[in-house]
Amino acid sequence: MLLKDKVCIVVGAASLRGIGYATAELFVRHGAKVAVVDVTMNDETTSSISASISKATGIDANVHGVPCDIQQSADCDRVIESVVKKFGRVDCLVNCAGIVKAQPLLSITETDYDRILDVNLKGTFNICKSALQVFAAQKSGVIVNLASVAAQRGGGLVGGAHYAASKGGVVSLTRSIAREFGPLGIRANTICPSMIETGMLDGNVTAKQFEDIVAAIPLKRAGKPSDIAGSCLYLASDLSAYVTGATLDVNGGSHIH
């Protein structure tokens, strides 16, 4: 077990179709104590996640569900406090929370822009800052932030320019964390997925667009949430003990650079 007795927070984990849920399930399978966090998290959702993970793994998951709007720094502080109260510490933060909107640049309104940046970039900053207060005190901790291939290639697949810019900010933010907090034994890395079959594709990609994109991927398939979860496990575990400030491409070869 790669995460035996580690306390891991997975943000953006409410959807059973999502990367966050797949990551929580894999982490439980590898011995972690997991807190699942989402703006829509409630007792019913937490129970559903626990039941699904328990059925898939044969392990009594008993995950700790915490609601949080990562746009609000006080909410993020409350999440960390809740997890520390429940488990005594925090070892890893995986932030999968994010929103996307497919729009041509000239149609992006100020409201559209603010919404995307507030969730994807400001929200990432907020939850990382809250976790880092605990990590700095205990002189250990791991952060894994989900960005996107859009941050590297300038959008063009699903999200608009505001989405690409927000995810580019996540990459830079994560590198800054790695540089500043590395001397304290804290690692921070980014994953850049591309075309993963989650609810984020709903309404943003037509069937024809999906087929065209997949046809151009060297591995000839879209990614699955479990593909990203495996990368999260690697970066969260001691297998990557000397990896920090890195950006890991998980895109089936669709963006080789």
Q: In what order do the strands lie in the sheet with 33-38?
A: 64-67, 33-38, 7-11, 92-95, 141-146, 186-193, 247-250
Hey, what are 26's tokens? 């894999």
Q: How does DSSP classify residue 40?
A: T
d(CA 221, CA 201): 15
d(CA 17, CA 4): 25
Task: Determine whether 163 is an active site residue.
Answer: yes
CA–chain centroid gap for 77, Å, is: 18
Which of 9, 4, 22, 38 lies closest to 237 in space, CA to CA? 4
Contact status, residue 248 vs residue 42, Cβ threshold 8 Å:
no
Q: Per the residue annotation, which of 21, 163, 234, 242 is the catalytic one?
A: 163
How far does the chain reach from its first CA to its final CA, in angstroms?
Answer: 33
- Half-sphere exposure (CA, 13 Å, Cβ side) for 90? 29
Q: Which residue is listed with tokens 């080789």? A: 256
**DSSP character string of 71-92:** TSHHHHHHHHHHHHHHHS---E
Q: How does DSSP classify residue 122?
A: I
Hey, what are 86's tokens? 């429940």
CA–chain centroid gap for 172, Å, is: 15
Catalytic residues: 163
